[in-house]
Structure 1
Amino acid sequence: MRAARGFTMIEVLVALAIVAVALAASLRAVGSLASAQTELHQRLLAGWSADNTLAQMRLTHAWPEVGEQSFDCSQGSLTLMCTARVTATPNPVFRRVEVSVTMPGRGGNLAQMVAVVPNETSRSL
């Protein structure tokens, strides 16, 4: 009598379990990549908002008042809040400006930039 050839039911179930674990791991990896991509996109837009705020100060030659000011700095469909903190420096001709960008409902800063702004209003030509 010849032995039957082929796979037993146990072997098929073990193979299916291995494939299921591999698929679950790959789905989790894809989910992590999508989440990281969203975070990166938000941080990129927040960086642009902070850079835009500092560039606007430089281009208008504005001499910012010492203190803190918060304002909307949304990019596209992403709602963002910028906070500009202006502090004096040892040299009275310069002020330090720190711009932090946050997203309402989410803790922590998405971006933060610092610049030193000169007082160009009293500069002689």
Structure 2
Amino acid sequence: MNFNTTANHRGFTLLEVLVALTIITLSLGALISTSGSHASSAGYLKQKTIAHWVAMNEITQLRIEKAWPGKGDTKGSTEMAGAEWYWTRTVKETEDENSRQVEFKVFLDEARESSLTRLVVYLFKPAETTTPQL
């Protein structure tokens, strides 16, 4: 019998294959975990963006109406992007009697437990308009 101990063997050993599979498994696990958290973050950012738009729309509505909001809290809701958004508006006096601080908070739940956005603006008292005499 002739055993050739110097023969060239091609391929990988079982141990090398198992180590490679372990590395690939760990890498794919980390990739899937990262992808999942990225998708979750993207959804949260989408909600925050739409909530900000809701607040901006309500402020714009106040400005268009040239309304002088009364002090205190007001609650309301708006539909946007296929969802119902709940908001609170808090109006406070400022040192200047011709301006008011308006704070909007927007929530996704009707219980208004955790706001997605908070926006504070200052509105100035609309000028008295008079009709021109002809």
Provide the TM-score with structure 1 as the length reference: 0.89
Q: Secondary structure at the match of 1:40?
A: helix
Determine if the alignment matches structure 1 residue 110 to structure 2 residue 121: no
Q: In 2, Cα distance between the equivalents of 1:117 and 1:58?
A: 8
d(CA) in 2 for partners of 1:79, 1:15: 50
Which runs of no fewer than 5 residues in structure 1 stay unpaired? none
For residues 8-54 of structure 1, the C-alpha deviation after alignment (integer angstroms, 9 at most, x for no partner) is 11111111010011111111111111111101110110000000011
CA RMSD of aligned residues (A): 1.8
Aligned pair count reads 124
Distance, in Å, in 1 between the alignment partners of 2:66 and 2:129 is 14
Percentage identity across aligned positions?
A: 31
Higher strand fraction (1 or 2): 2
- 8 A Cα contact 1:66 1:86, kept in partner: yes
After TM superposition, the score normalised by the length of structure 2 is 0.84
Aligned to 2:104: 99
Counterpart in the other structure of 2:43:
38
Report 1 or 2 for greater relative contact order, CA contacts < 8 Å, sequence distance ≥ 6: 1
Larger Rg, first or second structure (1 or 2): 2
Contact 1:42 1:78 in 2 (8 A): no
